[in-house]
Amino acid sequence: MMHLINNQPTIDFSLYVNIDQLLDIKPYLDYAVVKSSKIITPSRYSGNQFLDQHGIGLTDILDSYSGEYPFIQDLKDNDQLASWLRYQFDIIYGQQSVQIIYPTSWSTKHLKESCVPTENIKYFKLFFDWLEEQKIFSQFGRVIVFTNEPGVNTPTHYDYKNDVSSKDEFIWINLDNRKKFFVYDTETKIKHYLAGQIGTFNNHDYHGAEPSEFATWSLRVDGIFSNSFLEKTNLIDYFR
C-alpha cells in the first residue's frame, strides 16, 4: 500500500514558490553541478531496497569489502572507493551523486547541526539565496545532487527498510523535466510521475526514474518544513 500525502502519491510545489526565479538561474546551477562533479560517486543502495531483488547495491559491498591493495586508502581518502568497486563487482546504481551538504547520520539528515558542508557549497550561493527567500524550511540539512547521463535510469527503490513511513520533509527539484521521475504503486503497478519542477513524495514508497534521453540532474534538500509553508500548501495536518 502506498503512503499517500493528502491522498496524493506526489505533491507539486510549483505554485507555492518563485519557480521563475529558479529557472532564471538554471545556467548558473548547471555550472555549479559541473564544478561540483570533480567528486561524483555512484548512488549507494543496498540490494533489499530495490524493487527488483536480484541486484546488489554499493552498500552491500562497501559494508563488507576488505581488499588490501596498496591504493585502497587513497581511494577512501578521496571518496573514490565506491567508483572503483563498480569495476570489481556487478553493482546496480544508475544515477550518480554529488554531495553539497552531507549528513553524519542518516536519521538526522534533516538537521543543520548533523550535516557538514563540502567545498562544493561555494558554487551554490544563488540557490541557497533563493531557498532562504522561499521560507520553505525552518532549517535544512542534507543537500545532494543526483545526475543521470543519457540512457541512465534511477533504479526503482525505496529509502527505508522497515514498514513505517518516516514522513521525511524534503523538496525534490528537476528544472529541465528531462528526468522522468515516478513513485511506483506495487499493488496497481502504476507509475505516478511527479508533476512540475519541484515537489515531494513519501520516500518510503518505491520510486525511480526512467532512462533519460539527455543529460540531467535533480537536487534534493532535506530539512524541517516551516509551519508557514505547510499552512500555505495545506500539509500542516499531515506533517504536524
Q: DSSP secondary structure string, 171-217? A: EEE-TT--S-EEEEETTTTEEEEPPSSEEEE-TTS-EEEPPPSS-EE
147 domain-assigned:
yes
| 81, 31 Cβ separation under 8 angstroms | no
* Structure confidence by residue, pLDDT tens digits, 134-147: 999 999 999 999 99
64 domain-assigned:
no
CATH number of the domain bearing residue 147: 2.60.120.10
72 domain-assigned:
no
17 domain-assigned:
yes
Q: What is the pLDDT of residue 55?
A: 84
pLDDT at 231 over 80: yes
- DSSP 8-class letter at 228: H
Q: Could you give the C-alpha distances from 106 to 7, 27, 63, 102, 148, in angstroms and in order?
A: 27, 31, 15, 9, 23
Q: How far apart are CA 88 and CA 200, in angstroms?
A: 35
When pLDDT is averaged across residues 190-203 and rounded to a whole number, the result is 95
Q: Which residues are 224's β-sheet partners?
A: 139
84 domain-assigned:
no
Please state the domain count of the chain: 1
| 74, 39 Cβ separation under 8 angstroms | no
Q: How far apart are CA 194 and CA 10, in angstroms?
A: 6
Q: Dihedral of the CA atoms 105, 106, 109, 111 (nearest 10)? A: -50
Q: Which three cell numbers stand for residue 113?
A: 547541526
70 domain-assigned:
no
Q: How far apart are CA 63 and CA 125, in angstroms?
A: 34
Residue type for position 67: G
Indicate the pLDDT class of residue 163, thresholds 50, 70 and 90.
low
118 domain-assigned:
yes
The residue range of the domain holding 186 is 10-41+94-239
168 domain-assigned:
yes
* Structure confidence by residue, pLDDT tens digits, 89-129: 999 999 999 999 999 998 999 999 999 999 999 999 999 99
| 119, 172 Cβ separation under 8 angstroms | no
Indicate the pLDDT class of residue 53, thresholds 50, 70 and 90.
confident
114-136 core/surface letters (b: 16 or more CB in 10 A; e: else): ebeeeebbebbebbeebbeebeb
Q: Could you give the C-alpha distances from 149 to 60, 92, 96, in angstroms and in order?
A: 24, 15, 9
Burial class (CB within 10 angstroms; exposed 0-12, middle 13-18, buried 19+) of 113: exposed
Q: How far is CA 74 from the centre of its chain?
A: 27
